[in-house]
């Protein structure tokens, strides 16, 4: 009798586990479209944050984005704009996914170790770039950036003014850095330190850098320097490296050069 009771108990447990597994699987499948949509909204939200367009949690993110942002896809090798006629199911603005493109044999490429200061190994050949447009004129350019921190790959955006020198916004939308330490890259006060800093000097040399400590207000380089994160040396170094990677020849420099020629006839 005891053996029969144990058998029945095990049977009930197995049945409950089976039903629970089906329920969890069904819920995961059912929630996936919602999760994907929320992920896209969060991405758009962070583009707006970088462009200083996210003023309240009550705004309609899609509406504000569509009214103020114009996107285009840029070939990083030569800085040219990819025409929409060349878009497909993978390469397009609506579904642009840095991770998918970087890992694609067609749209991604390996980075030589001596150039991979961001520690990402692979990158897309083409990147989406976003323009903040007001009254038909470009006000800012927003560039996706990513690179390794201490524990994770950090994904975010950096915004430059139309002069392409001045940083107008900086944010991360995905990372796994330590809360209270490297996780302070989410701190609005720290992100605000970037606003007004200069990415390049007057001769278009890349000068922006994140320090281990505090930037000296009396230094001639103060306008190029960002305070490091206290107790988070490796995350600080990772942010410094990824920004330098994406604003140099390995990233958007060719595109920035073309924009500079168009806007000022000045060669970088």
Confidence band, pLDDT 50/70/90 cuts, at residue 260: confident
Q: Of 36 and 98, which is predicted with more confidence?
A: 98
Asked whether the predicted pLDDT for residue 38 surpasses 90, the reply is: no
Token pair for 79 = 């800085």
Confidence band, pLDDT 50/70/90 cuts, at residue 268: very low
Q: How high is the pLDDT of residue 267? A: 44
Compute the average pLDDT of residues 4-23.
66
As a three-state string, the secondary structure of the chain is CHHHHHHHHHHHHHHHHHHHHHHHHHHHHHHHHHHHHHHHHHHHHHHHHHCCCCCCCCCCHHHHHHHHEEEEEEECCCCCECCHHHCCCCCCCCCCCHHHHHCCCCCEEECCCCCCCCCCCEEECEEEEEEEEECCEEEEEEEEEEEECCCCEEEEEEEEECCCCEEEEEEEEECCCCCCCHHHHHCHHHHHCCCCCECECCCCCECCEECCCCCCCCCCCHHHEECCCCCCHHHHHHHHHHHHHHCCCCCCHHHHHHHHHHHHCCCC
Confidence band, pLDDT 50/70/90 cuts, at residue 8: low
pLDDT in tens, 215-249: 999 999 999 999 999 999 999 999 999 999 999 99
The residue ranges of every structural domain in the chain are: 49-264
pLDDT in tens, 80-89: 999 999 999 9
Q: How high is the pLDDT of residue 263? A: 73
Q: How high is the pLDDT of residue 266? A: 45
């Amino acid at each position: 009798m005891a053996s029969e009771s144990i058998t029945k108990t095990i049977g009930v447990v197995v049945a409950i586990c089976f039903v629970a597994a089906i329920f969890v699987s069904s819920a995961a499948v059912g929630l996936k479209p919602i999760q994907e949509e929320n992920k896209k909204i969060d991405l758009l939200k962070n583009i707006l944050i970088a462009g200083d367009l996210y003023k309240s949690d009550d705004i309609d993110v899609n509406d504000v984005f569509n009214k103020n942002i114009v996107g285009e896809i840029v070939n990083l090798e030569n800085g040219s704009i990819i025409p929409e006629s060349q878009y497909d199911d993978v390469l397009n603005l609506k579904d642009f996914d840095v991770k998918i493109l970087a890992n694609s044999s067609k749209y991604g490429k390996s980075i030589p170790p001596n150039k991979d200061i961001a520690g990402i190994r692979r990158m897309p050949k083409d990147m989406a770039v976003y323009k903040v447009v007001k009254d038909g004129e470009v006000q800012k350019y927003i560039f996706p950036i990513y690179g390794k921190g201490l524990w994770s790959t950090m994904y975010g955006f950096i915004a430059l003014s139309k002069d392409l020198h001045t940083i107008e916004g900086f944010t991360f939308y995905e990372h796994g850095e330590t809360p209270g330490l490297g996780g302070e890259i989410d701190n609005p006060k720290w992100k605000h330190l970037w606003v007004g800093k200069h990415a390049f000097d007057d001769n278009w040399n890349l000068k922006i850098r994140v320090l281990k400590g505090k930037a000296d207000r009396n230094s001639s380089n103060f306008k190029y320097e960002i305070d490091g994160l206290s107790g988070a040396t490796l995350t600080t170094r990772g942010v410094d490296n990824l920004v330098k990677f994406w604003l140099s020849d390995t990233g958007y420099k060719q595109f920035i050069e073309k924009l500079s020629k168009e806007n000022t006839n000045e060669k970088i």
